[in-house]
Amino acid sequence: MALRIIFMGTPEFSVPTLRSLHNAGHEIVACYTQPPRPAGRRGLELTPSPIHKAGEELGIAVFTPKSLKGSDEQTEFATHKADVAVVVAYGLLLPQAVLDAPRHGCFNGHASLLPRWRGAAPIQRAIMAGDSETGMMVMQMEAGLDTGPVAMTRKVPITPEMTAGDLHDTLSQEGAALMVEAMAALEDGVLTLTPQSEEGVTYASKISKEETRIDFTQTAEQVQRHIMGLSPFPGAWTEMRLSGKSTRVKVLRAALSGEGVQIACANKDVILTRLQKAGSKPMNADEFLRGNTFDGLA
């Protein structure tokens, strides 16, 4: 029999998992996602999340509570009589009453090799730290931050050419396939859970605005990883003198060799290969240099 699943997610990263569980024949009894947010140039239009749109497209009832801490919200959640809740980048804290409501509890798809990179920004932090691999994990949720026992793992290599956006897309697809596999095992009563190691715990704190500016006093390797780990969002940036004018420039890709805008770092040059001026489209370095005279950093 198919599982009765409550799906909980918000961004584009979550959508492949929702669609894959639906396509696998499970009964998605509800989608929980964060409320519509202001968007558009003036921020006046309320825009539903990617999961909100996908849920409606699939004919699933969508719920958008601001919090799940209230008794009314918790009672409503329990009325779905779900076998399990699947959580992928939902963005709201799940109180114990919510964790306990489904028959098999709640399972989270997390984008790291736990216990490394628990928390909000595991994809960016893995690249910025120079990790050679990461992955997706399906774990049973408990009250702690990403501390629950692990059901399944799928590893993914991180190459030097990979931005956070590239890794995001890869992990999103891998995570969808892994969750389908995990839910099939749960349905068959053969899903096994392994406690996380107490060693090697690290935390992937949210990216702050203050750390997005590029520090070229670091090594070229550190600068390159910083740029790739913050691309495309929020984006690492610097101030350049272009045609005699100080200009803020977002750097979207960098390398340690090749052609591009060369900037001296602590040990050697880093090569900026894809850049974007404020108000302009992203450009490869050759196109960027054809339209701008680069006079160094501002």
Query: Running DSSP on this structure, what letter comes out for residue 214?
Result: -
Question: Does the N-terminal peptide bond of residue 234 adopt cis geometry, omega within 30 degrees of 0?
Answer: yes
Q: Is 114 annotated as a binding residue?
A: yes
Give the burial string for 184-219 (b: 16+ CB within 10 Å, else e): eebbeeebeeeebeeeeebebeebeeeebebebebe
112 labeled binding residue: yes
Question: 240: which strand partners?
Answer: 247, 297
Check: CB of residue 99 under 8 Å from CB of residue 106. yes
Instruction: Give strand ranges (E) for 71-168.
Output: 84-88, 106-110, 118-119, 133-140, 150-157
DSSP of 92-103, one letter per residue?
S---HHHHHSST
Which residues belong to the annotated binding site?
112-115
Which residues belong to the annotated binding site for (6S)-5,6,7,8-tetrahydrofolate?
112-115
